[in-house]
């Protein structure tokens, strides 16, 4: 008979933690509990992927009346109403949170709506005063957005706050150049907000393929987003005097001074300047658990910390910060600990999408990263897609393959186009399987589609 209250205690009710908890309880018979201090579903469901994607959908309707008129439809321009959209959005998030709670309950997981910290290697202290013991502890607390350290930064909002705005601003300054900053720049612009974006670097979307990110930057500017590179915010203050009692971030307008010495005023300032793991004040360092940059919990290939009974998965480990990766890590944890089948997580060749307008889908190495390791061939095609070209639009799409000269394997695939996220999922299977350029060439095209270019490019555009 176990000397512990539970076989497994999970801290964090996001996608990775919930999956690990319910599979361990429902499929292996383990006695499992889970604690979540906020809402079940975590960043992805409550304040990330899901509400953001619904906002992406909403923002894309902006261009549809004009496009429809080009095809003969008599459709007038419309206007966007934030209030009914957010009412429906919040109802959908409530529904999804309910599903997460039901999944846990139906799997036999005991849930605690409380903050959890570690007292020792097998003891969890809850904010409701309760202490419980567990043979294994799994930390799946995710990450959080961070504000930069500059005067007046508390006047701005972060990505978690964007879904709770009482109304849309007329103007917004977005600070940052990563995928979150670029996605929200496109979303808010599509919803009718005047968008300015600052990024201190030379080009947005650092780490992605240069050709692909350059095309997205050009498209954002062409759509009317005021994208400024090599500039940052230096300080901020209330434009209308002192900060009132009970001030809520975003109750602008806000005056900023940038690093070029220019003063500007915006209704709202949104910081999308990075995220840190949610590991602070959990008692981890006192137990000897290693902590990396920004508070990332250090783990081995099996998600195990330096304390053998304590594991960590998802964004709190800062390995590959994507929801499907956290879920995969949670499943590997259950396989390792409760099924006796040590299973490391394969973090190689993970496809991902950036939901800008147009979208970017990517898997494998960028052209630059591939060239740094070996000789390559690059096959790329940029063209106006049939649907929007017919309407007279000038925007182009990109289909790109990066190929090893030596092995002929496709090292990377990069797509910039409407629906790129859907396309890259399928291309990712081929790249993950080690498909060669000749495998792509042998595949008959689906015509007429944008994606057929992936299998019809025969002559490399660049080599070396």
- What length does the chain have? 464
Integer-rounded Cα radius of gyration of the chain: 24
Residue 134 in contact with residue 30, Cβ under 8 Å?
Answer: no
Alpha-carbon gap, residue 417 to 230, rounded angstroms: 26
DSSP 279-316: -TTSSTGGGT--B-GGGPBP--TTSB-SSTTEEE-GGG
Indicate the pLDDT class of residue 143, thresholds 50, 70 and 90: very high
pLDDT tens across 243-282, in order?
777 777 777 799 999 999 999 999 999 999 999 999 999 9
Q: Identify the residue whose tokens are 């137990």.
A: 287
Going by their DSSP bridges, the two strands 116-120 and 143-145 should be labelled as unpaired
**Most distant CA pair in the chain, distance:** 74
Query: Which residue of the set 122, 347, 414, 447 is catalytic?
Result: 447
Question: Which residues, at least 6 apart from 123, have a Cβ–Cβ distance to it below 8 Å?
Answer: 131, 132, 133, 134
Q: Alpha helices of 30-141 — where are they, by DSSP H?
A: 42-47, 49-60, 64-70, 82-106
Enumerate the β-bridge partners of residue 34: 10, 111
Is 248 or 230 the better-scoring residue by pLDDT? Answer: 230
Question: Which residues, at least 6 apart from 460, have a Cβ–Cβ distance to it below 8 Å?
Answer: 377, 378, 379, 403
pLDDT tens across 287-324, in order?
999 999 999 999 999 999 999 999 999 999 999 999 99
Average pLDDT over residues 319-337: 98
Average pLDDT over residues 26-33: 98
Query: What is the per-residue pLDDT for 245?
Result: 73
Query: What is the per-residue pLDDT for 240?
Result: 83
Alpha-carbon gap, residue 396 to 373, rounded angstroms: 30
pLDDT tens across 32-47, in order?
999 999 999 999 999 9
Going by their DSSP bridges, the two strands 171-175 and 268-271 should be labelled as parallel
Distances (CA, A) of 27 to 22, 266, 324: 8, 53, 20
Q: Identify the residue whose tokens are 């919803």.
A: 191
Average pLDDT over residues 374-382: 98
Is 245 or 385 the better-scoring residue by pLDDT? Answer: 385
- Residue 447 catalytic? yes
Query: What is the per-residue pLDDT for 22?
Result: 98
The reply to whether omega before 253 is within 30° of 0 (cis) is yes
Average pLDDT over residues 169-182: 97
Query: What is the per-residue pLDDT for 221?
Result: 98
Query: What is the per-residue pLDDT for 38?
Result: 96
Residue 66 pLDDT > 90: yes
Residue 1 pLDDT > 60: no
Query: What is the per-residue pLDDT for 246?
Result: 72
Domains in the chain, start-ordered, CATH in brackets? 6-143+276-338 (3.50.50.60), 153-273 (3.50.50.60), 352-463 (3.30.390.30)
Question: Which residues, at least 6 apart from 184, have a Cβ–Cβ distance to it below 8 Å?
Answer: 52, 159, 162, 174, 270, 272
Average pLDDT over residues 214-225: 98
Nearest to 8 by CA among 316, 384, 337: 337
Phi and psi, residue 405, nearest 5°: -65, -35
Residue 190 in contact with residue 224, Cβ under 8 Å?
Answer: no
Nearest to 363 by CA among 309, 326, 410, 293: 410
Average pLDDT of every residue of the chain = 96
Enumerate the β-bridge partners of residue 263: 257
Strand spans (E) along 146-224? 157-158, 171-175, 194-199
Indicate the pLDDT class of residue 3, thresholds 50, 70 and 90: very high
Alpha-carbon gap, residue 245 to 134, rounded angstroms: 45
Count the helices and strands in the chain (H runs, E runs).
13, 23
Residue 200 pLDDT > 90: yes
Alpha-carbon gap, residue 330 to 171, rounded angstroms: 41
């Amino acid at each position: 008979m176990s000397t512990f209250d539970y076989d497994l205690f999970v801290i964090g009710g996001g996608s990775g933690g919930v999956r690990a908890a319910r599979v361990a309880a429902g499929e292996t018979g383990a006695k499992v509990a889970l604690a979540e201090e906020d809402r079940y579903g975590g960043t992805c469901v409550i304040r990330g992927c899901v509400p953001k994607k619904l906002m992406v959908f909403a923002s894309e309707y902006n261009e549809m009346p004009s496009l429809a008129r080009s095809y003969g439809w008599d459709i007038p321009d419309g206007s966007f109403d934030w209030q009914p959209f957010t009412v429906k959005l919040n109802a959908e998030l409530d529904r999804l949170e309910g599903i997460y709670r039901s999944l846990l309950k139906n799997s036999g997981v005991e849930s605690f709506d409380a903050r959890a910290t570690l007292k020792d290697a097998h003891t969890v202290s809850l904010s409701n005063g309760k202490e419980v013991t567990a043979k294994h502890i799994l930390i799946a607390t995710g990450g959080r957005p961070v504000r930069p350290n500059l005067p007046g930064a508390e006047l701005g909002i972060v990505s978690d706050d964007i879904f709770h705005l009482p109304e849309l601003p007329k103007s917004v300054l977005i600070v940052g150049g990563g995928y979150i900053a670029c996605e929200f720049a496109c979303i808010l612009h599509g919803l009718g907000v005047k968008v300015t974006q600052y990024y201190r670097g030379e080009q947005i979307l650092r780490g992605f393929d240069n050709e692909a990110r350059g095309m997205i930057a050009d498209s954002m500017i062409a759509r009317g987003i005021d994208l400024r590179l090599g500039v940052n915010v230096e300080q901020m203050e209330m434009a209308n005097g002192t900060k009132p009692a009970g001030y809520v971030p975003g109750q602008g307008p806000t005056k900023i001074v940038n690093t070029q010495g220019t003063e500007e005023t915006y209704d709202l300032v949104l910081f999308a300047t990075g995220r840190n793991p949610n590991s602070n004040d959990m008692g981890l360092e006192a137990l000897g658990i290693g902590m990396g940059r920004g508070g990332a919990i250090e783990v081995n290939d099996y998600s195990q910390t330096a304390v053998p009974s304590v594991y960590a998965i998802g964004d709190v480990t800062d390995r590959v910060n994507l929801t499907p990766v956290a879920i995969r890590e949670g499943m590997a944890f259950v396989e390792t600990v409760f099924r006796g089948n040590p299973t490391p997580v394969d973090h190689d060749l993970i496809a991902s999408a950036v939901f800008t307008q147009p979208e970017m889908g990517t898997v494998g190495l960028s052209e630059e990263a591939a060239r740094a390791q070996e000789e390559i061939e690059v096959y790329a095609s940029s063209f106006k897609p049939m649907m929007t070209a017919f309407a007279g639009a000038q925007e182009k799409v990109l289909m790109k393959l990066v190929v090893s000269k030596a092995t002929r394997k496709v090292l990377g695939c990069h797509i910039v186009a409407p629906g790129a996220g859907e396309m890259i999922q399928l291309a990712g299977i081929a790249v993950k399987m080690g498909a060669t350029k000749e495998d792509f060439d042998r595949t008959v095209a689906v015509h007429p589609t944008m994606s057929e270019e992936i299998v019809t490019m025969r002559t490399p555009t660049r080599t070396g």
